[in-house]
Structure 1
């Protein structure tokens, strides 16, 4: 739809100086440990929700996830 350069130009015209290289640097950066772990947990949470016929709300899903957390792979510490 819109390219990065025109968007950065418009933002700059409103006083928000953003270089196009900032966008490309962020896009090409490897995912952080946190975002990788979040993706793993999203998969687990989706599975718990589906296992309960997709009727659990956030409160019951959270409780169910907490109860089953011991079965999930532990978070890896960086380093």
Structure 2
């Protein structure tokens, strides 16, 4: 709870980049649609990854070794 911008932004916030917001909203809807599929039918963008973090944040304690993938500024790890 509280980890996504919509749940932490004041209602008075005015979006500066509406196109970017709409793209992010679309990506989130696609992700939800994939998640509703049976597990064997879900596409896997980063196989086996169960943790990730953005490079502009402190490196978490669990982020040891090489990530299974890097996409943009995000590193993906298989921990569990």
Q: Do they superpose with TM above 0.5?
A: no
Q: Answer with 1 or 2: which has the greater Rg.
A: 1
Q: TM-score, normalised by structure 1?
A: 0.30
Q: TM-score, normalised by structure 2?
A: 0.30
Q: 1 or 2, which has the higher strand percentage?
A: 2
